[in-house]
């Protein structure tokens, strides 16, 4: 499609894919959507992005990123049948983190039939210069039907500029006001509750920038949720024979998010679904597995919660994932890890493409440096020796020194 052109959409259930080619010096990009009435959002809830991944109506959901070689794809699911009647436009946007879109090669947006996977529309952005945010396209109503328009309008003020232009209230750091003694008087009534502004901050861990301090990220207390969500990119995966022939990945693919922990008092252990070792949040190990999910969806996935009120009790935590059943390797399985603290922005990273017959992947190492916890991106695929469990394999590589016995769910 050319800029400004439009096409009718073939169905209401759509998959919007923002993609680009990664490489040295290429900024990270993020997809977002805004639901507009009269050209503005009705409230901050009409902004769907990495920190607010689903609209309250269920009409738009941010699924997250996947990587296939050098190509990176960030996905939004849009169900136009669930868009409220007052909403006239669904804007599809992108923002760049760490540079301008002039440095993002092969940037394009594709609209696909969510059920069939066929491409209904594609727009390639080829004239970016200083922009750090882009409106690439939009769905709009015309005579009771939905159409898609290629827009290609850029901003040099990033996601914040794009958001505020459409009426979003953005959370900005405030300097503390001078403290003065209040006059003696009757206590004032409490102010009415106000909506919290949208927080845009986040950190993306990469090979060149693999670690971040939780203190610097604002995560010093409360709960930190570690989420793993995934997508099966192809219908076949794994090494099904000694010759490497791929075998079908089962529909009931079961990945297990796990954590090895070592506390400052010397205690060590594992939190995992296997053996029902779900942990505990308010007593040692202060880590809890929420449940055992098989969908990999962003709304659920596998989740661990870490109690940051007990930072001083942790020496190190290794978060890893194993394949319990449904596949023989992580090949063609594209996963994203997100660590969300109570008061800070999210920390996220994607797993690299798996090129070995791995059934266990070390995701992140969280280390106590004294007064702080540092998150280190690992994204390391491991291949167990014959007869050796994935848990024992990751224990050996990271020198945890535990004794292992067979377990089951």
pLDDT average, residue stretch 287-298:
65
Q: Give phi and psi for 132, each to the nearest 5.
A: -115, 0
Average pLDDT taken over every residue of the chain: 84
CA atoms of 173 and 266, how far apart (whole Å): 39
Summarised one tens digit per residue, pLDDT across range 109-130 is 999 999 999 999 999 988 889 9
Q: What is the pLDDT of residue 50?
A: 82
Summarised one tens digit per residue, pLDDT across range 35-67 is 999 999 999 999 998 878 889 999 999 887 877
Most confident of 24-33, 291-300, 311-320: 311-320
pLDDT average, residue stretch 132-156:
93
More confident residue, 248 or 399: 399
**Would you put residue 118 in left (φ > 0), alpha (ψ -120 to 50) or beta?**
beta
Q: Please choose, from the candidates 112, 114, 138, 17, the residue with its C-alpha nearest in 3D space to the C-alpha of residue 72.
A: 17
Cα angle 260, 257, 331 (rounded to 5 degrees) comes to 115
Q: What is the pLDDT of residue 86?
A: 95
**Would you put residue 301 in left (φ > 0), alpha (ψ -120 to 50) or beta?**
left
Q: What is the pLDDT of residue 298?
A: 42
Strands 203-204 and 346-350, sheet pairing = parallel
Q: What is the pLDDT of residue 363?
A: 95
pLDDT average, residue stretch 344-354:
84
Query: Reduced to 3 states, what is the DSSP secondary structure of residue 134?
Result: strand
Query: Please, are residues 400 and 262 in contact by the beta-carbon 8 Å criterion?
Result: yes
Q: Residue 138: which residues within 8 A CB-CB, separation 6 or more?
A: 89, 90, 91, 92, 148, 149, 151
Summarised one tens digit per residue, pLDDT across range 202-255 is 788 888 778 888 887 777 889 999 998 877 655 433 433 323 333 334 456 788
Summarised one tens digit per residue, pLDDT across range 166-176 is 999 886 544 43
Q: pLDDT band at residue 72, thresholds of 50, 70 and 90?
A: confident
Could you tell me the two tokens for 211?
């670690």
Lowest mean per-residue pLDDT among 103-112, 207-216, 294-303, 369-378: 294-303
């Amino acid at each position: 499609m050319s800029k400004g052109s439009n096409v009718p959409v073939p169905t209401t259930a759509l998959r919007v894919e923002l993609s680009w080619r990664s490489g040295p010096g290429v900024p990270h990009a993020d997809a977002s959507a805004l639901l507009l009435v009269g050209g503005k959002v009705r409230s901050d809830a009409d902004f769907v992005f990495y920190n607010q991944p689903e609209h309250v109506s269920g009409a738009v959901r941010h699924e997250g990123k996947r990587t296939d070689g050098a190509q990176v794809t960030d996905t939004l699911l849009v169900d136009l049948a669930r868009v409220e009647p007052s909403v006239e436009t669904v804007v599809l946007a992108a923002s760049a983190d760490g540079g301008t879109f002039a440095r993002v090669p092969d940037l394009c947006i594709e609209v696909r039939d969510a059920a069939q996977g066929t491409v209904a529309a594609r727009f390639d952005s080829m004239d970016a210069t200083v922009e750090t945010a882009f409106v690439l396209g939009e769905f709009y109503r015309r005579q009771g039907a939905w159409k898609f328009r290629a827009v290609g309008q850029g901003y040099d003020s990033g996601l914040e500029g794009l958001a505020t232009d459409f009426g979003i209230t953005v959370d900005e750091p405030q300097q503390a006001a001078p403290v003065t003694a209040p006059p003696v008087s009757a206590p004032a009534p409490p102010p009415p509750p106000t909506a919290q502004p949208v927080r845009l901050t986040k950190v993306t861990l990469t090979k060149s920038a693999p670690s971040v301090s939780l203190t610097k990220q604002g995560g010093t207390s409360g709960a930190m949720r570690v989420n793993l969500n995934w997508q099966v990119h192809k219908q076949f995966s794994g090494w099904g024979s000694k010759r490497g022939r791929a075998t079908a990945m089962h529909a009931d693919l079961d990945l297990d998010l796990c954590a090895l922990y070592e506390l400052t008092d010397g205690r060590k252990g594992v939190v995992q679904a296997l053996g029902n070792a779900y942990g505990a949040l308010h007593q040692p190990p202060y880590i809890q597995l929420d449940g055992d999910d098989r969908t990999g969806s962003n709304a659920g996935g596998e989740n661990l919660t870490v109690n940051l009120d007990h930072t001083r009790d942790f020496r190190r935590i290794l978060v890893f994932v194993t394949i319990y059943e449904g596949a023989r390797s992580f090949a063609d399985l594209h996963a994203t890890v997100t660590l969300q603290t109570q008061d800070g922005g999210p920390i996220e990273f994607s797993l690299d493409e798996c090129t070995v017959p791995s059934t266990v992947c070390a995701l992140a190492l969280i280390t106590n440096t004294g007064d702080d916890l540092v998150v280190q991106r690992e994204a390391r695929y491991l291949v167990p020796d014959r007869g050796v469990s994935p848990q024992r394999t990751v224990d050996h590589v990271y020198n945890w020194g535990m004794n292992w016995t067979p377990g089951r769910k």
